[in-house]
Amino acid sequence: MSKLSFFLGCIAPNRYPGIEASTKKVMEKLGVELEDLKGASCCPAPGVFKSFDRTTWLSMASRNITLSEEMGDDILTICNGCFGSLVDANLMLKEDAALKEEVNKMLSEIGHEFRGTQDVRHIIEYLFQEVGVEKIKQAVTYPLELKVAVHYGCHLVKPTKERQLGSAENPTFFDKLVEATGAKSVDYEDKMACCGAGGGARTAVLDTTLKMVSNKLEHVIAADADCIIDACPFCHLQLDVGQTEIKKKIDKEYGMPVLHYSQLLGLAMGFTPEELGIDMNFVDNRKFIERIGGVRNE
Amino acid sequence: MSDTIKTSNLSPEFREEIFEQPGTEKITLCFNCTGCSSGCPMAEQEPEFNIRKFLRMANLGMKNELLNSPYLWYCTTCYKCQERCPQGVPNVDALLKIRTIAVHNGIMLPAHKKVGQMVINSGHAVPINDDTKEKRKKLGLDEVPPTVHRFPDALNEVKKLLHIAGFDIIIAKKEEKK
């Protein structure tokens, strides 16, 4: 299997490094070689940057892509926002020669050139399409007896025209990956609902977006799920830090563990919760970790 | 009762400004079916955020009302409306273009401006902090990630690029009061 350049983004390395560590561990076990994309920046955050100025958004995204081109590898992202920004920029520049020329004029001043030789991948679709559910099942040594609520997040699957990953109303590929770990993906009301973080909304109107978090948590709890599994550090932050913000505001405590898929898969491969940073959420995950310990010793 | 729309307050050029973003001319195809706004997860929480109404206002050239609406900044860009539109209107792309016109007129939220400034200074929208450095060490990762945070030359490239793109000037813009 070919090598991938590992694009970290902002929130994983700078707030939830457990997601970064888990990705490295599980990809190594699966035989996928990752090399750090050295010197990469913010993707940049599509919500704020596409709102502010598309030229700025495109130039910064294209610089990140050129770093990967220079290594001759496709990019692996672990965040829906980074994926959205980089896929969109890559497609636009590959398809629009005039735009590419305009961007390359800017990039030439810092010694880079966009050539359009590489693809941008997201860990979830890469695992599903390139590694495959069967191979993941074979790598599982501690099947997890958990009921989990899968949260796809918006920009993994939408806009569907650019993503090419099938239905955005009722996708199944992420659930299949989750069930490869032995866990059961439970259905819950409004499963595809947005976490509220994107588009600069969390920054602009936190309180309103927290109502979206509350809705999701209520639905996840009603489905009797043990945890939420996401594909994006920004959704992860909104759903995890969001719970501490809700507690401060209305003194309601959900105590819902939120894990990135790389962390769930890591558990199923026999890594400890501590090695995967599951104890590093802002919500206290101790009860969940004790439970996992029980599951793994069975 | 709704307020009367006075044609003297409309800006006929506004639509053309939006249409600079390819595809957004499709907002003229909207026949007000409300499929977009009725499924909107933000409208469920804040009914004043109405994507259908906003794009109708854009079609009419209600520039001032739109650019100064606080609700312009509520969209999470979940793309649900764009996916569901029977007319293929790129609702989100159009809304983002309207935001861009606002920003280029100096209208932006201080909190967003701060994020922009953060990227100019550090190359990250969410930069590293001491708490995360500790967590990284515990996980056996390098204390500072191998991004622009670790490579000053790479950060200088980003700063230069943002300057070439004019982002520093955009961020520094102040609204011109008429």
Of the candidates B145, B164, B139, the one whose C-alpha atom is nearest the C-alpha of residue A40 is: B145
Residue B20 forms contact with A (CB below 8 Å)? no
Q: What are phi and psi of B68, to 5 degrees?
A: -100, 5
Residue A53 and residue B99: Cβ atoms within 8 Å? no
- At A238-253, the pLDDT tens digits run 999 999 999 999 999 9
Are A53 and A162 contained in the same domain? no
Cα–Cα distance, A85 to A79 (Å, whole number): 10
Distance in angstroms between the alpha carbons of the first and the last residue of chain A: 34
What are the mean pLDDT values of chain B's consecutive 10-residue runs (178 residues total)?
Answer: 82 95 96 96 97 96 96 98 97 97 96 96 98 98 98 98 96 74
Are A74 and A155 contained in the same domain? no
Residue A115 lies in a domain: yes
Average pLDDT, chain A: 96
The conformation of residue B2, written as its DSSP 8-state character, comes to: P
Pick the last residue of a domain from A68, A98, A123.
Answer: A123
B21 contacts on A by Cβ (under 8 Å): 54
Question: What's the pLDDT band for A297 if we cut at 50, 70, 90?
Answer: very low
Count of domains in chain A?
2
Residue B135 and residue A277: Cβ atoms within 8 Å? yes
State the helix-helix crossing angle for A17-29 and B130-138, rounded to 10 degrees: 30
Are A70 and A152 contained in the same domain? no
Are A264 and A173 contained in the same domain? yes
Give the pLDDT score at B39.
93
Residue A63 lies in a domain: yes
Q: Which residues contact A95 (CB under 8 A, 6 or more apart)?
A: none
Pick the last residue of a domain from A100, A123, A146.
Answer: A123
Give the pLDDT score at A164.
86
A13 contacts on B by Cβ (under 8 Å): 128, 132, 136, 145, 147, 149
ipTM of the predicted structure?
A: 0.95
Residue A128 lies in a domain: no
Of the candidates A172, A168, A86, the one whose C-alpha atom is nearest the C-alpha of residue B81 is: A168
Residue B83 and residue A60: Cβ atoms within 8 Å? no
Of the candidates A123, A39, A118, A46, the one whose C-alpha atom is nearest the C-alpha of residue A82 is: A46
Residue A116 CB burial class (10 angstroms; 0-12, 13-18, ≥19): middle
Q: What are phi and psi of A170, to 5 degrees?
A: -145, 60
- At A101-117, the pLDDT tens digits run 999 999 999 999 999 99
Residue A243 lies in a domain: yes
Pick the last residue of a domain from A101, A123, A145.
Answer: A123
Cα–Cα distance, B31 to B49 (Å, whole number): 19
A21 contacts on B by Cβ (under 8 Å): 139-141
Q: Which two tokens stand for residue B111?
A: 């909190």
Are A83 and A168 contained in the same domain? no
Domain span including residue A91: 4-123
Residue B141 and residue A198: Cβ atoms within 8 Å? no
Question: Which residues are A81's β-sheet partners?
Answer: none
Type and span of the H or E element at A161: helix A160-163
- At A168-221, the pLDDT tens digits run 999 999 999 999 999 999 999 999 999 999 999 999 999 999 999 999 999 999
Q: What are phi and psi of A4, to 5 degrees?
A: -125, 145
Nearest CA in chain B to A47: B77
- To the nearest whole angstrom, how far is the Cα of B99 from the nearest Cα of chain A? 5
CATH code at position A107: 1.20.1050.140
Cα–Cα distance, A153 to A151 (Å, whole number): 6
Give the pLDDT score at B175.
76
Of the candidates A197, A88, A48, A89, the one whose C-alpha atom is nearest the C-alpha of residue B103 is: A48
Q: Which of B46, B112, B139 sits opposite A21 (nearest CB)?
A: B139
Q: Which residues contact B97 (CB under 8 A, 6 or more apart)?
A: B18, B20, B21, B24
Residue that is written with structure tokens 């500790």 in the block: B134
Span of A92-101, A162-171, B70-79 with lowest mean pLDDT? A162-171
Give the pLDDT score at A161.
87
Give the pLDDT score at B176.
66
Residue A196 lies in a domain: yes
Task: Report in angstroms the alpha-carbon separations of B154 from A39, A217, A278.
Answer: 5, 40, 31
Cα–Cα distance, A94 to B173 (Å, whole number): 32
Are A83 and A109 contained in the same domain? yes
At A252, the amino acid letter reads K
Nearest CA in chain A to B78: A154
Number of CB atoms found within 10 A of residue B52's CB: 21
Are A154 and A202 contained in the same domain? yes
Domain definitions of chain B by residue range? 7-104, 110-172
In the three-class reduction of DSSP (H, G, I as helix; E, B as strand; rest coil), residue A135 is classed as: helix
Nearest CA in chain B to A198: B76
Cα–Cα distance, A113 to A101 (Å, whole number): 10
Residue B48 forms contact with A (CB below 8 Å)? no
Are A44 and A140 contained in the same domain? no
Are A117 and A32 contained in the same domain? yes
Number of CB atoms found within 10 A of residue A293's CB: 11
Are A147 and A59 contained in the same domain? no
Are A17 and A65 contained in the same domain? yes
Residue A33: CA count within 13 A, CB half-sphere: 5
Are A152 and A275 contained in the same domain? yes
Q: Which of A40, A159, A208 sits opposite B147 (nearest CB)?
A: A40
CATH topology of domain B7-104: Fumarate Reductase Iron-sulfur Protein; Chain B, domain 2 (1.10.1060)
The answer to whether the beta carbons of residues A112 and A241 sit under 8 Å apart is no
Residue A288 lies in a domain: yes
In the three-class reduction of DSSP (H, G, I as helix; E, B as strand; rest coil), residue A79 is classed as: coil
Residue B76 and residue A211: Cβ atoms within 8 Å? no
- Strand segments, DSSP code E, in chain A are 4-7, 34-36, 74-77, 120-122, 147-151, 184-185, 227-230, 258-260
